[in-house]
């Protein structure tokens, strides 16, 4: 049997399996998690067609890193990335009052059509206080599985609509004054990726489009 199969554990995750090999290519996890880690939906594990896991989950140096996700470490003073927040002249500080979240609202589609899977989701972005700052329309597609080359493609597209009465300002440790930081705005889709010998999935992560 070939094609892609979806299993939806409601309230928890959506998994996508390539039926020819039996490999679970990814799990899209959307359940709420610890507030300190800026809860948000994420992809983990993410696997090659050969079954190699290429994402990491809560590594020792950054416990709030979870697979592949969309986030922002500096968003109008809020930290939607998780963990400590960078403050110019003081370094990284534990400031839980800055840590926000991205919440799952509903799925518009969780569908498989043979060789393509579509996960369409609506999310909301919130600062620590819980106010609505933004709506996001997210679309994740799994497609172009090629057994010969051992590869497959993942496309992630997000459209973000500001719901505040003032602009949403995307930044980073660099824009906040950290010297030598490689992170520049917007944060986009960070991931903790493990290098494997076999050909990994092809990632086509379209940047978030603020409205």
> What pLDDT, on a 0 to 100 scale, did the predictor assign at position 82?
87
Give me 133's structure tokens. 């700052």
User: Span 148-166, mean pLDDT?
Assistant: 95
3-state helix, strand, coil in the chain (%, to 5): 5, 45, 50
Count how many Cα atoms sit within 13 Å of the Cα of residue 8 in the half-sphere of its side chain.
10
Taking the C-alpha atoms of residue 127 and residue 179, their distance in angstroms, rounded to an integer, is 26
CB contact set of 165 (below 8 Å; sequence gap of 6+)? none
pLDDT at 35 over 90: no
The percentage of residues in the chain with a pLDDT greater than 90, rounded to a whole number, is 63
The pLDDT value recorded for residue 106 is: 98
- Centroid of chain to Cα 135: 15
The reported pLDDT for the residue numbered 1 is 60
CB-facing half-sphere around the CA of 54: CA atoms within 13 A: 21
Q: How confident is the model at residue 208 (pLDDT cuts 50, 70, 90)?
A: low
Give tens-digit pLDDT for 99-143.
999 999 999 999 998 799 999 999 999 999 999 999 999 999 999
Q: Which two tokens stand for residue 138?
A: 């997210």
Beta-carbon contacts of 127 under 8 Å, excluding residues fewer than 6 positions away, are 76, 77, 78, 98, 100, 133
Cis peptide leading into 197, omega within 30 of 0? Answer: no
CA-to-CA distance for 185 and 173, rounded, in angstroms?
Answer: 9
Torsion-angle region of residue 133: left (phi > 0), alpha (psi -120 to 50) or beta?
Answer: alpha
Structure tokens at 124: 């909301």
As a whole number, mean pLDDT of residues 39-63 equals 91
Which pLDDT band, with edges at 50, 70 and 90, does 57 fall under?
confident
- pLDDT tens, 62-106? 777 889 999 998 999 999 998 888 898 898 888 999 999 999 999
Asked if residue 154 lies in contact with residue 168, where contact means CB atoms within 8 angstroms, the answer is no
Taking the C-alpha atoms of residue 186 and residue 172, their distance in angstroms, rounded to an integer, is: 7
Which has the closest alpha carbon to 199: 145, 143, 141? 145
Tell me the per-residue pLDDT of 160-206, one tens digit each, with 9 for 90 and over. Answer: 999 999 999 998 887 777 776 554 444 555 554 443 434 445 555 45
The pLDDT, as a whole number, for residue 153 is 96
In this predicted structure, what is the pLDDT of residue 202?
A: 54
């Amino acid at each position: 049997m070939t094609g892609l199969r979806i299993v939806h554990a409601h309230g928890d995750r959506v998994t996508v399996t390539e039926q020819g090999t039996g490999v679970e290519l990814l799990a899209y996890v959307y359940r709420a998690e610890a507030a300190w880690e800026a809860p948000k939906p994420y992809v983990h594990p993410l696997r090659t067609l050969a079954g190699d896991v290429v994402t990491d989950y809560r590594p020792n140096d950054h416990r709030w890193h979870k697979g592949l996700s969309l986030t922002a470490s500096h968003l109008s003073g809020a930290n939607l990335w998780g963990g400590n927040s960078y403050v110019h002249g003081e370094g990284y500080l534990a400031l839980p009052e800055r840590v926000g979240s991205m919440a799952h609202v509903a799925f518009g589609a969780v569908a498989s059509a043979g060789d393509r899977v579509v996960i369409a989701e609506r999310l909301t972005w919130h600062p620590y206080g819980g106010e609505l700052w933004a709506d996001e329309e997210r679309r994740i597609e799994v497609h172009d599985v090629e057994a010969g080359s051992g590869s497959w493609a993942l496309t992630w597209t997000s459209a973000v609509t500001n719901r505040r009465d003032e602009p949403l300002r995307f930044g980073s440790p660099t824009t906040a004054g950290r010297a030598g930081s490689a992170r520049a705005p917007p944060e986009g889709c960070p991931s903790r990726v493990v290098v494997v010998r076999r050909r990994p999935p092809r990632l086509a992560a379209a940047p978030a489009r603020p409205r």
